[in-house]
């Protein structure tokens, strides 16, 4: 046999089975099939029969790991034939996390301000020890990869990713697939497998899949640009920066941050990037606006060269806008990886395992659905696991939701990955209107000329991810079962855009690519305030953002966007799938995200018993700690039965009739639960008194007896 692929050419998927063609054949499961050609020939001559199929020694059962064929991309492209066998292919074998139910419970607790574990984040080592794949599984996968002829290109401390590389011929032989070349309608060529990879079941059970068997997807930045020389187009540019675009001072003024003292001091901000940048552009921007020179640290992934390429404007604007809103940050870490599935996974994983930047933004994405999508399950699941690790470590990451409105794939209702991921803050776009002096006036949805090409804020419903707990119960969300996007928004209209210095000149940029890094910089300000008071960092921001947005302070903490559409979903009061909760009202939201202390205890606690329950009333605490009260928790004694609510009174159910109870109340803000109130009066739940039912006929009979007694009158009875 000329190569191992022939086993599968002739016999479909059955590992260990091939037609007699040569003396020795190595099969994909690693067994060695030894065939004596002379014996076979003798058999053929002596017994007059053709050589029969031959079987290897017993080997582990082989299975195909589903979800690796990018069917939509292939269907929209022309097949050009097989990939040359010596083409080098870089892949990332993704392994599943352990103890996932425990991890999800942990995440729910560390992001519940009323829970004692609130803000008790893990270190990267603690995460790996408790939830990372086992060392035994990692070693087994590594040994298997090496046995198949792959080079180990990289290992990761959380053991969630194993980077391997090999020639296309080795890939095909190892996984019993053929890598085919295709040409997309736009002329770009890519490769993809003709089948899912096959491997021994004991290896398949240890992995999520193999990321990088295709390169059909190319990640795109979500930005829109016009020349600063085109200033004062209609609608007019609203800023004081070059070309009439927004300067750092304009952003602070419009979004109510000019009077705040927090600048992101002491905070490390991170950027996920798939291109390089020119340091001179950054220096020119900072110098022009009088900003501090924040140290930049480039972290190159998978041998990436940080030379600026076609996406360098994205990297540049991300850095400059983070500097604009968090000029006091101690460092901006720029993680730069290759624009490939393997590069994306490796770059996100490095941000998680470094666990240095606690607020990160990404402005690169792809639609969940479409020919240019990354909808293969192994990639999306691996990505989600990385974001779960970030959340467990107190990292928050903001992703631009896309610039194609509700049609992220360009033609059908769809949303952008990673903004649609459940452990990601999806950031949409608005159009900002200001008064004189750049003071905030109002915002509408970002939607240029009702066209996808003009630009519109991404938003809609995920077809992949179920609705997260913190998004459930929002009546105005478009879906009650699936993840809704975006979570928040900020100005993204290129015609009310931002001054960016790129490639030696001033440009005006918009797009949700601008909104995401600004939200990350805003989080750095919040974390500065929280750290200054010795409190845990913000961490994954969505649970707290949603709690505050659903509190009485929504109208003062957010700018609710109620006008316009994103080409399909309409803005409206409260949450909507065009702009999420809206944009931040800076100083106000900072105060509620970063109060000085937890609340004092509620007072005047009283209880009224019912059947298996009690209703507890109380007076709100005198001091809220400087932040809005998010919830109250009532706790029974005995039993420790709890009930939560937004205001007094709160009913506690599940009590035992006939048992005496008292109750205490705590108030919770963004820093956690405050002190416990004094106990209420003692009450004993009991069933309602049994009262016989009175029928109409019974009432009539009673009335008749009364009349009879009156007619008889008083009588003297014998003593």
Q: What does the pLDDT read at residue 269? A: 98
In angstroms and rounded to an integer, the radius of gyration of the C-alpha atoms of the chain is 32
- Cα 370 to Cα 75, 217, 409, 415, 478: the distances in Å are 11, 10, 6, 10, 21
* Six-digit token string for 220: 């795109």
Nearby residues of 205 by Cβ (< 8 Å), 6 or more positions away: none
Q: CATH for 603-673, among 3.30.160.100, 3.30.1280.10, 2.60.40.10, 3.30.70.260?
A: 2.60.40.10
Q: Which tokens in the block code for residue 269?
A: 């901000």
Q: Are 409 and 397 in contact (CB under 8 A)?
A: no
Cross-strand partners of 192: 180
What CATH homologous superfamily does 260-592 map to?
Peptidase S8/S53 domain (3.40.50.200)
pLDDT in tens, 530-541: 999 889 999 999
- What's domain 68-97+132-211's architecture? 2-Layer Sandwich (3.30)
pTM of the model: 0.87
Strand partners, 440: 434
3-state helix, strand, coil split of the chain in percent (to 5) is 30, 25, 45
Spatial CB neighbours of 512, under 8 Å, sequence gap ≥ 6: 222, 363, 400, 401, 402, 403, 427, 428, 429, 457, 458, 492
What pLDDT does residue 232 have?
A: 47
Q: What is the pLDDT of residue 375?
A: 60
What is the C-alpha separation between 611 and 599, in angstroms, rounded? 32
The pLDDT value recorded for residue 235 is 52
* Residue 148 DSSP one-character state: T
The continuous run of DSSP H or E covering 636 comes out as strand 631-637
- Interacting residues of 599 by C-beta distance below 8 A, sequence separation 6+: 621, 623, 624, 625, 629, 667, 668, 669, 674, 675
Q: Quick one: CA torsion of 99, 103, 104, 108, rounded to 10 degrees?
A: 150
Query: Do the Cβ atoms of 575 and 476 come closer than 8 Å?
Result: yes
Question: Which residues are CB-neighbours of 324 under 8 A, at least 6 positions away?
Answer: 247, 248, 251, 289, 291, 498, 518, 521
Phi/psi class of residue 373: alpha, beta or left (left: φ > 0; alpha: ψ in -120 to 50)? beta
- What are the residues whose beta carbons fall under 8 Å from the beta carbon of 371, sequence distance 6 or more? 72, 73, 75, 76, 77, 184, 216, 409
Condensed to tens digits (0 to 9), the pLDDT of residues 346-388 reads 999 999 999 999 999 999 999 998 666 666 789 999 999 999 9
- Largest distance between two CA atoms of the chain: 133
649 to each of 458, 646, 659, how far by Cα in Å?
A: 40, 9, 21
Bridge partners (DSSP) listed for residue 54: 18
Q: Are strands 331-336 and 296-300 parallel, antiparallel or unpaired?
A: parallel
Buried/exposed code over 362-388 (b: 16+ C-beta within 10 A; e: otherwise): bbbbbbbbbbbbbbbebbbbbbbbbbb
- Taking the C-alpha atoms of residue 300 and residue 346, their distance in angstroms, rounded to an integer, is 11
Q: How many other C-beta atoms are found inside a 10 Å radius of the C-beta of residue 34?
A: 11
The pLDDT value recorded for residue 689 is: 73
**Pair of tokens at residue 532:** 């200054």
DSSP 217-236: ---EE--EEEEGGGTT-SSP
Question: Residues 612, 624: contact at Cβ < 8 Å?
Answer: no
Query: Which ranges of the chain have pLDDT less than 70?
Result: 1-60, 229-236, 370-375, 690-719
Of 369, 381, 378, give the one whose Cα is nearest residue 407: 369
Q: Are 439 and 254 in contact (CB under 8 A)?
A: yes
Domain map (residue ranges) of the chain: 5-59, 68-97+132-211, 260-592, 603-673
* Predicted pLDDT at 291: 98
3-state secondary structure 31-76: CEEECCHHHHHHHHHHHCCCCCCEECCCCCCEEECCCCCCHHHHHC
d(CA 419, CA 441): 28
Tokens linked to 221: 């930045």
């Amino acid at each position: 046999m000329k190569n191992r692929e022939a086993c599968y050419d002739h016999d479909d998927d059955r590992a260990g089975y091939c037609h007699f063609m040569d003396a020795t054949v190595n099969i994909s499961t690693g067994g060695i099939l030894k065939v004596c050609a002379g014996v076979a020939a003798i058999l053929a001559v002596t017994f007059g029969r053709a050589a029969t199929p031959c079987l290897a020694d017993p080997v582990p059962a082989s299975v195909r790991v589903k979800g690796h064929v990018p069917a939509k991309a292939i269907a929209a492209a022309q097949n050009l034939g097989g990939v040359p066998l010596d083409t080098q292919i870089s892949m990332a074998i993704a392994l599943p996390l352990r103890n996932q139910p425990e991890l999800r419970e942990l995440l729910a607790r560390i992001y519940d301000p009323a829970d004692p574990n609130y803000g008790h984040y893990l270190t990267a080592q603690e995460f790996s020890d408790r939830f990372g794949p086992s060392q035994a599984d990692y070693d087994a996968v590594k040994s298997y990869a090496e046995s198949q002829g792959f080079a180990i290109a990289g290992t990761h401390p959380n053991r969630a990713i194993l980077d391997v590389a090999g020639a296309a011929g080795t890939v095909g032989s190892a996984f019993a697939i053929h890598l085919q070349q295709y040409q997309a309608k736009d002329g770009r060529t890519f490769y993809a497998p003709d089948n899912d990879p096959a491997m021994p079941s004991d290896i398949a059970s240890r992995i999520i899949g193999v990321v990088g068997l295709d390169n059909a997807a190319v990640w795109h930045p979500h930005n829109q640009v016009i020349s600063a020389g085109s200033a004062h187009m209609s609608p007019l540019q609203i800023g004081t920066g070059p070309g009439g675009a927004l300067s750092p001072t304009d952003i602070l003024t419009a979004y109510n941050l000019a009077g705040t003292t927090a600048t992101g001091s002491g905070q490390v901000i991170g950027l996920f990037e798939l291109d390089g940048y020119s340091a001179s552009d950054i220096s020119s921007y900072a110098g022009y606006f009088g900003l501090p020179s924040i140290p930049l640290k480039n972290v190159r992934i998978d041998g990436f060269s940080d030379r600026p390429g076609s996406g360098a404007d994205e990297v540049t604007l991300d850095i400059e806008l983070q500097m604009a809103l968090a000029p006091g940050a101690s460092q901006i870490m720029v993680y730069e990886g290759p624009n490939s599935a393997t590069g994306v996974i490796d770059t996100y994983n490095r941000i998680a395992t470094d666990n240095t930047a606690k607020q990160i933004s990404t402005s690169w994405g792809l639609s969940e659905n479409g020919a240019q999508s990354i909808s293969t399950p192994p990639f999306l699941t691996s990505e989600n696991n990385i974001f779960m690790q970030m959340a467990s470590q107190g990292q928050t990451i903001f992703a631009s939701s896309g610039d194609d409105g509700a049609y992220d794939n360009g033609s059908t209702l769809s949303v952008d990955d990673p903004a649609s991921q459940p452990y990601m803050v999806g950031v949409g776009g608005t159009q900002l209107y200001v008064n004189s002096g750049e003071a905030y006036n109002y915002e509408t949805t970002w939607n240029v000329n009702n066209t996808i090409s003009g630009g519109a804020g991404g938003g809609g419903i995920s077809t992949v991810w179920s609705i997260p707990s913190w998004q459930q119960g929002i009546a105005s969300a478009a879906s009650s079962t699936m993840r809704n996007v975006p979570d928040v928004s900020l100005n993204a209209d290129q015609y009310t855009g931002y001054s960016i210095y790129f490639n030696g000149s001033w440009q005006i940029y918009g797009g949700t690519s601008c909104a995401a890094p600004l939200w990350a910089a805003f989080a750095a300000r919040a974390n500065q305030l929280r750290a200054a008071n010795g409190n845990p960092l913000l961490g994954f921001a969505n649970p707290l953002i949603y709690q505050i947005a659903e509190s009485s302070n929504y109208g003062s903490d957010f700018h609710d966007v109620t006008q316009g559409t994103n080409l399909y979903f309409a803005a409206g009061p409260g949450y909507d799938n065009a702009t999420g909760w809206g944009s931040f009202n800076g100083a106000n939201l900072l105060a509620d995200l970063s109060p000085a202390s937890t609340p004092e205890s509620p007072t005047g606690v009283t209880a009224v018993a019912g059947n298996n329950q009690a209703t507890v009333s109380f007076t709100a605490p005198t001091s809220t700690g400087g932040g809005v009260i998010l919830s109250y928790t009532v706790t029974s004694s005995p039993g420790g039965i709890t009930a939560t609510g937004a205001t007094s009174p709160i009913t506690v159910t599940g009590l035992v009739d006939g048992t005496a109870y008292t109750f205490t109340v705590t108030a919770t803000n963004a820093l956690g639960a405050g002190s416990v109130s004094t106990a209420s009066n003692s009450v004993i739940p009991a069933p309602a008194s049994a009262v016989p039912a009175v029928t109409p006929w019974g009432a009539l009979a009673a009335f008749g007896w009364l009349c009879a007694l009156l007619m008889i009158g008083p009588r003297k009875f014998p003593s």
